[in-house]
Amino acid sequence: MRINKFIAHAGVASRRKAEELIKQGLVTVNGQVITDLATTIKSGDRVEVEGTPIYNEEKVYYLLNKPRGVISSVSDEKGRQTVIDLLPQVKERIYPVGRLDWDTSGVLILTNDGDFTDEMIHPRNEIDKVYVARVKGVANKENLRPLTRGVVVDGKKTKPAVYEILKVDPVKGRSVVQLTIHEGRNHQVKKMFEAVGLPVDKLSRTRFGNLDLTGLRPGEARRLNKKDISKLHELAVRQK
């Protein structure tokens, strides 16, 4: 098995991230630093990443209702609470699939399956990600229409999105809008709304593919079953 695949299967990181770790000289095999991405791991080889031995684990998948104020990371150098802290019963080395901002709540998948992670976050797979945003301003068809054609964010045009106006309060000058996108760029939803003059006041991801928050209170998680994972895989394959 190639070294990047072995690392991904051990739940340390996705294959892409594993390649970065290898190039940085942070991976050893039988005590020797390796930087060749073509390195093959054989039975009995001792693999360490940043000095920590790694082993293949059972693949596990969890759906978390991420609360606001929690970091979408395995650890935080500032000592802030992370999504991993919310699942103390999980023994496997899981990590979040993509990220939600510190002040964004909602659907977040965690796993130790690197191949699955790559499949879920690759742009070509265009899996629906549904957000509900409370924005400052009065939302209407005129100011939201650019989102359906794509707006320029950080110098690159977004793919067309689908919106639904859920509530408008002209007195307070606020609106609630549902937005469905297929990408996952940094702060993308907030920047898309800013581009049409509706800065986000509060944001939650309510659905990822076939998964929603039914039955989960903020901070709660459930283990995904084979049916859940198969459906996500089908959604990804359908877009290829």
Residues that are catalytic:
101
Three-state SS for 2? strand
Tokens of 43: 């039975």
Residue 200: phi, psi to the nearest 5? -80, 135
* Residue 29: Cβ within 10 Å count: 18
In the chain, the amino acid numbered 214 is T
State the CB neighbour count (10 A cutoff) for residue 188: 18
Among 219, 74, 192, residue whose Cα is nearest residue 131: 192
